[in-house]
Structure 1
Amino acid sequence: MNRGQVVVVGGGLAGVTAALRCAELGFEVRLLEARSRLGGATYSFVRGELVVDTGQHVFLRCYTAYRGLLRRLGVADSISMQPQFRVPVLSPVGRPAVLRRWNLPAPAHLAPSLLDYRMLTVAERARVARTALALRRLDPDDPALDDISLGQWLRQRGESPRAVDALWGLLAVAALNAEPGDASMALATKVFRTGVLDSTDSADIAIPQVPLGQLHGDAAHRALLAAGVDVRVRCKARTIHRSGTGFRIPVRDGVGDSVLTADSVVVAVPHRAAAPLVADLPVPGVAEWGRLSAAPIVNVHVLYDRPVTGLEMAAVLDSPLQWVFDRTAIAGATRGQYLAISLSAAQEHIHARTEDLHDLFVPALRQVFPHARDAQILDFFVTREPNATFRQAPGTAAIRPPARTPVPGLVLAGAWTATGWPDTTEGAVLSGTHAAEVVDLDQRSQRGVEVTA
């Protein structure tokens, strides 16, 4: 039975999740996406023979909600999950090392690896182990932790600059898209506790084995249509107005301007786009959303004429490189080897010329992969995501809004909302599920009021 009309604005992971769940709950759902595709910030494009993802996305075994969405989309078999967390760590100035977990109860599962981590001195390793135990006792929901940065907290614990760079920052920058000195300690605590310290297998890394456009966009479109959702791409919501107990949503699509009506609206777009949509509604804190700002990610793509490394991925220290991934098979390359360099917190590179990035990163690759010195580069290009995440700095917890607004039926979703998680695929999916639950509760409440009256 139709329980009312829901319009979901935004076709990223949060919007897709909200739309699917609302459809399952019996609502008539329309999903609006301004772009020609679904998937939000995760998408692919074709360059020559390569299918290129704009950014390299990985996730962890603890991303249970996101993994559930992949199952719902029918693409759970399109990812490769490590049987055990293992990250090779390279450096042009020293011997390589490996971070990995052991089959021991948490947090002892990391102790052998930390105590053998040759990127740090013996004294630094011992201090890191003590710091990890102290971090495990912290509560990520403690508001006081959002007042300080991860870097501040680590300095208070006596961590050396080398330990911050070679271990804590190695993981935190990738997870939070922020340097330790700029990252909220509350979010860092969530990352390290849920993602690394609390469970033995939580940090096992999964990598999509198909392009993101196929994993998210195409699969989501099929699943939404099968669920009966009216999917409208190239359809931009201009604003949202209250109309009685429901809403009017002026939209613009390829045909022209029109107005949709709905009993409930889920706003599942980034904070910059969400604010003007709800500007005419009594939603508190909208003016503060801009303070979430944005943090960039840059990806440098290099196609060699021959294989230069046997590693699927590696972290790199003492180098402009951060993380390097072998994308050869995933992108459909038929010759050579295609590597992608993922650079988080990439403010210094976001506006750099491609030629300058070539001159910086090609020699850096040769330093850590000796076989690259004799290889020819068939293609070199750069993708930039200026607004990859919100800026996950101290003080952001007070700005991130909850799903429920004071306007009955108006619900917020997105990784930028108050999910308790950093800006991740897991946070996006959790927000979409929660948004659908709020829609359901609001509609039940409204029906109850009407029956009582």
Structure 2
Amino acid sequence: MSRGRVVVIGGGLAGITAALDCLEAGFSVRLLEARPRLGGATYSFSRGGLQVDTGQHVLLRCYTAYLRLLDRLGVGHGVRLQRRFRVPVLAPGAKPAVLTRWNLPAPAHLAPALLAHSRLSWAERARLARTALAMRSLDPQDPALDEISLGRWLGDRGESPRAVDALWGLLGVAALNAEPEHASMALAAKVFRTGVLDEADSCDIGIPQLSLGALHGEPALRVLREKGADIRLRCKARTITRSGDGFRIPIREPAGETAVPADHVVVATPHAAASALVADLPVSGADQWHRLSAAPIVNVHAHFDRRVADLEMAAVLDSPVQWVFDRTRIAGAGRGQYLALSQSAAHREVEMRTEEIRESFVPALRELFPAARRARLLDFFVTREPNATFRQAPGTAALRPAASTSVPGLVLAGAWTATGWPDTTEGAVRSGALAAEAVDVQQRSRRSVEVTA
């Protein structure tokens, strides 16, 4: 017997997790997704024989909730985790450097990454070590840290602009989708403590070996249906209204418009869509969610007619390129080499025309990889994510709502909610788990009241 009807609005990682957890807790679940697939912003499409991911996602070993979700979906094998953190760092005209770690207790594991960072002077490397120790003592939950930026905090400790670019920014921009001067120090402390400083192996990088569609949306649809969920694709929820002790949700599907009932609703959409959905309900703080704003990511795709780079991934300094990934095998390229470039905090690039981006990035690739100068481009294209994350700036912690709302039965999920994590796949999955937990707690409370009455 079902413990109640849960409607989950949104089929991204947060909604998938919430739906799975609610099913396993004994609820009947209906999941509404406006797109023709699950997976949210993490999806793939076909182009010229390539299976292209909209964004180049990586993870860290400390992404425990996300890794568990992949196991539950039966695709844990679809991610390869490094045995030991290793990131090549390239720069035009310079010998490649490598950031790596030792198999020693934290924070001594970082010694080789600091000592061997040839792009910095010995004085800068020594200062980096002192700054890392200082950051390790910070509490990411300290509200005062959310009032300042990572850039300001580093500057107060004497970090040079070069050190900020070569290490703190190199990792921080990718994790927070924000330049150091615009990134919340509280979220930066979470990234660097949990992801780099607290445990020796937490920073080991995981790289998907499947397309995002095969890793998220397709297995989630199969598993949820096997567990009894009612999945409605191409189904747009228009709003949420109260109906007796529960809710009524008008929806629009290809077959027409109707409404679905619910005892509990999990809103697992981006914050802008969530604001619109709850507009008719007295949800405390919803009028402030728009202040979370958005930050873009741009992905540049270059398919050459031959192999031009001998790497799986690399970070890049002193170039328009930030991170480069070899996606040839995973994308199913039948010839040549397919490189994907991930550009975070891409406020400039998101407004540029594709030809402008090509004029900037193709010469940059040929400067980084001399073999590319003799190669012919088979294809070049750009995918843009204008609202890839919320803007993870100082002051955002107070704007991120908890899973439970001021409306009984209405619960929130999404990486933008108060998970304690930045806007990542790990944050999204944790938010879904928190939402399902809130549904369970509220249902137990409701039953307790009924029994008492």
TM-score under structure 2 length normalisation: 0.99
Match of 1:105 in 2: 105
Matched ranges for 1:400-419 at <5 A: 400-419=400-419
Secondary structure of the equivalent of 1:350?
A: helix
Q: Which amino acid aligns with 1:289?
A: W
Match of 1:6 in 2: 6
Measured in 1, the distance between the counterparts of 2:117 and 2:450 equals: 64
Segments of structure 1 that go 5 or more residues without pairing to the other structure are: none
Measured in 1, the distance between the counterparts of 2:234 and 2:353 equals: 31
Q: Is the 8 A contact 1:301 1:381 kept in 2?
A: yes
Matched ranges for 1:308-327 at <5 A: 308-327=308-327
Match of 1:371 in 2: 371
- In the alignment, is residue 47 of structure 1 matched against residue 70 of structure 2? no
Q: Which amino acid aligns with 1:80?
A: R
Match of 1:424 in 2: 424
Deviations 1:108-166 (A, max 9, x none): 00012201210101100000000000000000000000000000000000000000001
Deviations 1:272-318 (A, max 9, x none): 00001111111111111001000000000000000001100000000
Segments of structure 2 that go 5 or more residues without pairing to the other structure are: none
Match of 2:276 in 1: 276
Measured in 1, the distance between the counterparts of 2:300 and 2:215 equals: 22
Match of 2:434 in 1: 434
Measured in 2, the distance between the counterparts of 1:349 and 1:116 equals: 32
Measured in 1, the distance between the counterparts of 2:113 and 2:166 equals: 14
Measured in 1, the distance between the counterparts of 2:106 and 2:248 equals: 51
Match of 1:226 in 2: 226
Measured in 2, the distance between the counterparts of 1:84 and 1:37 equals: 35
Measured in 2, the distance between the counterparts of 1:147 and 1:424 equals: 21
Q: Which amino acid aligns with 1:421?
A: W
Match of 2:292 in 1: 292
Matched ranges for 1:186-265 at <5 A: 186-265=186-265
Measured in 2, the distance between the counterparts of 1:219 and 1:438 equals: 25
Matched ranges for 1:58-137 at <5 A: 58-137=58-137
Deviations 1:250-282 (A, max 9, x none): 111011111110100000000000001111111
Q: Which amino acid aligns with 1:422?
A: P
Name the % identity. 72
Deviations 1:159-184 (A, max 9, x none): 00000001100000000000000000
Secondary structure of the equivalent of 2:399?
A: coil
Measured in 2, the distance between the counterparts of 1:358 and 1:238 equals: 39
Deviations 1:18-42 (A, max 9, x none): 0010000000100000010000000
Match of 1:147 in 2: 147
Measured in 2, the distance between the counterparts of 1:408 and 1:450 equals: 15
- Displacement after TM superposition at 1:93 (Å): 3.7
Q: Is the 8 A contact 2:146 2:187 kept in 1?
A: yes
- Displacement after TM superposition at 1:94 (Å): 2.2
Deviations 1:176-227 (A, max 9, x none): 0000000000000000000000000001001111110111010100110011
Runs of 4+ in 1 over 2 A off after TM superposition: none
Q: Is the 8 A contact 1:93 1:318 kept in 2?
A: no
Secondary structure of the equivalent of 1:386?
A: strand
Q: Which amino acid aligns with 2:242?
A: R
Between stretches 160-169 and 92-101, larger displacement belongs to 92-101
Q: Which amino acid aligns with 1:90?
A: L
Measured in 1, the distance between the counterparts of 2:90 and 2:413 equals: 38
After superposition, the CA RMSD in angstroms is: 0.6
Q: Is the 8 A contact 1:60 1:204 kept in 2?
A: yes
Measured in 1, the distance between the counterparts of 2:8 and 2:414 equals: 12
Q: Which amino acid aligns with 1:55?
A: G
Q: Which amino acid aligns with 1:74?
A: G
TM-score under structure 1 length normalisation: 0.99
